[in-house]
Structure 1
Amino acid sequence: MSGIMESAGTEAARQLPGGCGDTGGAGQDRSTRHALLDAALDVFTERGYTDAGLTEIAARSGIPVGTLFQHYGGKRGLYLTLWEEFREEQEHRTAATLAAERSGGTTDPIALFVAGARAYLEGAWDNRKLGRLFADDDGPAGFDALRRQWDRAWVRRNARLLEVDERRRAGRVRVSVLTTVIGGAARELGDCGDETEAREIVDEVCGILIHLSARAG
């Protein structure tokens, strides 16, 4: 998509040791898949990735452990699939917002950037349980490297959206700061007590982004 979010794709997840592989075979039953992912999310958020047990995930989902392995290969596969689904949902949301803004005649790079950032932050609030999970440092081996790879791609895409010359160090640093502001705000939203507080944070952050973006070029 254009700016704000960029998918590392399922292929990137497969590059991790013991990656999830094909998690969505044509014959996979959707209800089974959802039950396993919902149970995995609950257990991961309650116990952390390291202490999460496959037996508990299977028991909560009502799906045999063997079926869990068949579909996801274990904890890593479940975690990476949750990550991909979170990323894809955020990606679709921000892509739709940018497309609507452009269709409405918006061409200003800062206006587009802030609109996309707002959509991303609203998605972070809507999906805050997943957001809290991925904000923690407890994940499968290699996940930090994958997240850093995606973060670098995110900065590059935002630089293009803001029409910043990536060859200029000052421009790159400013876009990196802007991207970090969005990521930090998304983590804060995970701890918000209610929607009113979340909206206040989103509005405040978008104001900050407008101010900082003014000199991004």
Structure 2
Amino acid sequence: MSGIVESAGTEAGGRPPAGQGGTVRRALLDAALEVFTERGYTDASLAEMAARSGIPVGSLFQHYGGKQGLYLALWEEFREEQERRTAATLASERGRGVDDPVVLFVAGARAYLGGAWDNRRLGRLFAEDDGPSGFDALRRQWDRAWVRRNARLLRVDERRRAGRVRVSVLTTVIGGAARELADCVDETEAREIVGEVCGILVHLSTPPG
């Protein structure tokens, strides 16, 4: 699998109106994403989000409590989708009998990077330094959990500092590539980035012998 598959509606910014099959929450989140990506978090206006979604500001507060709640809901959605995509890929690979930790790790990384491309508008948003108070700490917490999951996948002894450093470097490579994909506009180039990075990961994740 290439991991580079365009998700319908994600980059185009289109959404069904609230009265045509879209839920209130979906309409609010889609409007929030549009405004956040255009204005940044600090300058984003709740009134503009409400106007674009066609839903009253009061309903926005009822569902999300304000601008911070909308931003964090988008982050949670992005994070959960990346984890779901990666877990599904690993389950599929294991179902085919794949047991090599490096092969599994690279397959998971390819799935994650595919998600970074598919959801690049969200990726661009979260790569910015303009977010709600406490978001950086939340992101660092998730990054640490990500490193621990990768260590288990690669069967690295986390008690050894060298092993922890190796997994941290590998995870940083994936995160850096995801940020590049967030800024990418060409699918062919995105495929090249994913292929290049996966080749690097194969090399770096092989234990020294």
Q: Same fold (TM over 0.5)?
A: yes
Q: Secondary structure at the match of 2:23?
A: helix
Normalised by the size of structure 2, how large is the TM-score?
A: 0.88
Equivalent residue in structure 1 for 2:107, among 115, 119, 142: 115
The number of equivalent residue pairs is 189
CA displacement at 1:137 relative to structure 2: 1.1
Structural RMSD (CA): 1.3
Are 1:165 and 1:171, in contact at CA under 8 Å, matched by a contact in 2? yes
Equivalent residue in structure 2 for 1:82, among 74, 86, 94: 74
CA displacement at 1:194 relative to structure 2: 1.0
Counterparts of 2:112 and 2:97, CA distance in 1: 21
What residue identity is the alignment partner of 2:54? G
CA displacement at 1:184 relative to structure 2: 0.4
Give the unaligned 5+ runs of structure 1: 1-28
Matched, 1:180 2:172: yes
Structure 2 residue aligned with 1:41: 33
Structure 2 residue aligned with 1:17: none
Equivalent residue in structure 2 for 1:149, among 141, 145, 153: 141
Normalised by the size of structure 1, how large is the TM-score?
A: 0.85
Q: Secondary structure at the match of 1:68?
A: helix
Structure 2 residue aligned with 1:70: 62
What residue identity is the alignment partner of 1:145? A
Q: Secondary structure at the match of 2:99?
A: coil
1:14-58 Cα deviation digits (max 9, x unpaired) = xxxxxxxxxxxxxxx961111110000000001100110111111
The 1:186–1:30 alpha-carbon spacing in structure 2 relative to 1, beyond 3 Å, is: same
Q: Secondary structure at the match of 2:40?
A: helix
Give the unaligned 5+ runs of structure 2: 1-20
CA displacement at 1:215 relative to structure 2: 2.0
The 1:187–1:216 alpha-carbon spacing in structure 2 relative to 1, beyond 3 Å, is: farther
Are 1:94 and 1:120, in contact at CA under 8 Å, matched by a contact in 2? yes
Structure 2 residue aligned with 1:7: none
Q: How does 1:3-18 map to 2 (within 5 A)?
A: none
Question: Percent same amino acid at aligned positions?
Answer: 83
What residue identity is the alignment partner of 2:175? G
CA displacement at 1:186 relative to structure 2: 0.3
Are 1:162 and 1:216, in contact at CA under 8 Å, matched by a contact in 2? no
Matched, 1:92 2:67: no
Counterparts of 2:118 and 2:101, CA distance in 1: 26
Counterparts of 2:153 and 2:201, CA distance in 1: 14
